[in-house]
Amino acid sequence: MWAALDQFLHYIEHQRLYSAHTIISYRNDLSQFVDFLEARHEAQSINPLKVKTEDIRSFLGFMLKSGLGKRSIARKLSAVKSWFRYMLRNDIIPVNPAGVVSAPRLDRPLPTVLSEAQTFQLMSLPPDDSFQGLRDRAILELFYGCGIRLSELLNLQIADLDFSRELIRVLGKRQKERLIPFGKYARIALENYLKIRDEEIPHLEDPSIVFVDSKGKPLYPVKVQKMVHRYMQELSEQAHLSPHVLRHSFATHLLDRGADLMVVKELLGHESLSTTQIYTHVSMDRLKKVYRQAHPRAERKSFPKTEEPES
């Protein structure tokens, strides 16, 4: 099992191009699974051919008894399923014992979203008379104006900005590239930031990187997370105020104003439409408004008059 695990981890790192963080998670989850199998069978090593569906279900039961949350259990089972699918494709095993094992049902929480008014107010919070303020404003405008992830923003390069067409190119998960339009406010914020960056920071560690600190070094994730959280705290008392809240707000506000779900899916870079559909639950205001305007039996302030037939 350990040799098969090393082979699988090499595959997801060098062929599937998973991130270092994801690979560490896979290694930890699958190592725990192999340790469980060795303890269950009282053996120092386990052959993948000997693993049965009952072993995997017992692993789920063990995690439930240990008090692990459903989401963590589902993640570990997903890793196990991916590994066994890989072993099946590569003829390491003849059948997949994990194929019929179901994860515990999850209660999917709705994403945290700012209102449109809160979002507009947020964009005005960074000062417009300093390098840091103009940089922060450009970052907030891009998060909300394009719905990009934190990693995508930090990896953004000057060559990815097309001001003439108002498009940015981002490299998302699985190294998937996509083009995203940006609006007037994001364009102005970017232009103002890049102008002051070139004037006040002549020595850049990497001139190709868009967002840097006051010493010319590329920004790192925690610094951006703390910055976004600091501004959001002035407007909202909700928990989990992170850059992803602006990505959630981007998608929700588009749907609220009538955008097609498939278009939002492409803008966000989601592989599955089901991932995007969670935002439809947040957009009930728009659905209720359409219903009240269109359905003849919906409650309305006034009803259209009907003409009496001529006698």
Residues belonging to the active site: 149, 173, 244, 247, 270, 279
Match 């009282």 to its residue by tokens.
Answer: 42
In a 3-state reduction of DSSP, which class is residue 161? Answer: strand
Task: Please provide the DSSP assignment of 226-237 as one string.
Answer: HHHHHHHHTT--
Beta strands (DSSP E) in 148-282 are: 161-162, 167-171, 177-181
Q: How far apart are CA 291 and CA 296, in angstroms?
A: 9
Task: Please provide the DSSP assignment of 243-263 as one string.
Answer: HHHHHHHHHHHHHHTT--HHH
Match 């997949």 to its residue by tokens.
Answer: 96
Q: Please check whether residue 189 is in contact with residue 127, taking contact to mean a CB–CB distance below 8 angstroms.
A: no
Q: How far apart are CA 207 and CA 158, in angstroms?
A: 8
Q: How far apart are CA 93 and CA 87, in angstroms?
A: 6
175-200 as b/e, with b when 16 or more CB fall inside 10 Å?
A: eeeeebebeeebbebbebbbebbeee
